A and B are shown apart, each in its own frame.
Chain A
Amino acid sequence: MNVWFVGATALLVGLVPVAWVLIRGDILEALVALQLAGTVVAVVLLLIGEGFKRNSYYTLPLVLAFTNFVGVLIFVRFMGDREL
């Protein structure tokens, strides 16, 4: 257990309040929580990749950073049109 895994574990615990807002909040609050969850998980994957010292593990947070961006934008686009 090194400092990278400790950090990743702490951030996974930090996802609990985010999940709470995601589940219990209204649609706008859930959208904000989704954005933060994507960021935190990307950082967790980055920490895990460095913890294992595997070069290929860095692909995952990079892809997540892009897909989280696109995913939230899609939600924003559809929420502008519809009364969800």
Chain B
Amino acid sequence: MTTTLDYALYVLVGIGVTAELVACVGLLAMGRAIDRLHYASAATGIGPAFIAAAVCTREGVVSAQGLAAILIAVVLAVAGGTLGLAVARIVRLRTHGTLEPSAAERERGG
């Protein structure tokens, strides 16, 4: 028999997996590396958080599985932000040769 808890798990896992799948398809759909990076970074935040919430819903927050899932989601989020910044810098360096904004970018406030 399906309980309310099961439905909650379906929703949380569904949202988490869908977020990751959208990031995967978005990576393929975008044309440039810097545009693809937006999807790669988004995948580190939303998806793992919902999956960790699903694990905590099933196992409880104060449990080995719940705490491990939260830790994994936090590590992915923090590492994702840091990696996004590092990769964006290297993309900028290799496509423009410098991190400084161009005259046109300064003109429009970039």
A residues with a Cβ closer than 8 A to B are 3-4, 7, 10-11, 14-15, 17-18, 20-21, 25-26, 28-29, 31-33, 35-36, 39-40, 42-43, 46-47, 49-50, 55, 58, 61-62, 65-66, 68-69, 72-73, 76, 79-80
Chain B interfacial residues counted at CB < 8 A: 50
How many A-B residue pairs have C-beta atoms within 8 angstroms? Tell me.
Answer: 139
Tell me the complex Cα distance, A14–B23, Å.
9
| Interface of chain B, main secondary structure | helix
Instruction: Pick the residue among A29, A39, A55 that contacts B76 (CB under 8 A).
Output: A39
A29 and B36 in contact, given A40-B20, A76-B86 (Cβ under 8 angstroms): yes
The residue that B10 contacts in the complex, of A3, A11, A29, A42, with Cβ under 8 A, is A3
The residues of B that contact A31 with a CB separation of less than 8 Å are: 33, 87, 90
Q: Which chain B residue shows the least CB distance to A10?
A: B17
Instruction: Mark out the residues of chain B between 65 and 98 whose CB falls within 8 Å of any chain A CB in the assembled complex.
Output: 65, 68-69, 71-72, 75-76, 79-80, 82-84, 86-87, 89-91, 93-95
Residues of B within 8 A of A (CB): 6, 9-10, 13-14, 16-17, 20-21, 23-25, 27-28, 33, 36-37, 39-40, 43-44, 47-48, 51-52, 54-55, 58-59, 64-65, 68-69, 71-72, 75-76, 79-80, 82-84, 86-87, 89-91, 93-95
